[in-house]
Amino acid sequence: MLRANKIILLILFTGLLLCCKPYNSDEANHKFIQGKWMLADAKRDLFDTVKVDYDKQITYLIFSGDKCSQEMVDLNEISDYTFTISNFELNLYTDSMLNNTLHINLLTADSLILSKGDDSLWKYKKVTE
């Protein structure tokens, strides 16, 4: 009886391993990141070449398919990118050339935290329209 239980468990375990699709964090992150995100908080290093006070600007990231737009409402500026996600890295491309890579620290249904190095951090909240 004990031997039969072990065989049944072995068959079930093997079936689970062979039948289930392995978790793909890149695919899951790509689905979660879709939509419109509003910048809620930003910490930038002192050597930033773009002198923008992110705390005073309304800034959105808009993800749709493999496209990403950064919209800075107060400056009336929109930057368009294509993007990929690989190993929790958000890669932004302009004209098929890698423009920027940001680390995804956190991605949930309503929160997105991106960083670049130790001194730059952007916190976004999902916008529902």
pLDDT in the model for residue 58: 87
In a domain, 113, yes or no: yes
The bridge status of strand 59-64 relative to strand 35-43 is: antiparallel
DSSP, res 57: S
Instruction: Give the span between the Cα atoms of 54 and 72, in whole angstroms.
Output: 9
Assigned token pair, 127: 């916008």
Partners of 80 in the β-ladder:
69
Can you give the pLDDT at residue 47? Answer: 43
Q: From the CB of residue 105, how many other CB atoms can be counted at a distance below 10 Å? A: 14
Q: How many CB atoms lie within 10 A of CB 68?
A: 19
Average pLDDT, the chain: 84
Q: Is residue 20 part of a domain?
A: no
pLDDT at 107: 95
- Structural domain boundaries, residue 79: 26-127
Give the CATH number for residue 31.
2.40.128.280
Nearest to 122 by CA among 106, 108, 109, 110: 106
- Whether 59 is in a domain gets the answer yes
- Element spanning 42, H or E: strand 35-43
* Mean pLDDT per 10-residue section of the chain, whose length is 129 residues: 73 62 80 95 62 68 96 90 95 92 94 90 89
The verdict on residue 54 lying in a domain is yes
The domain tally of the chain equals: 1
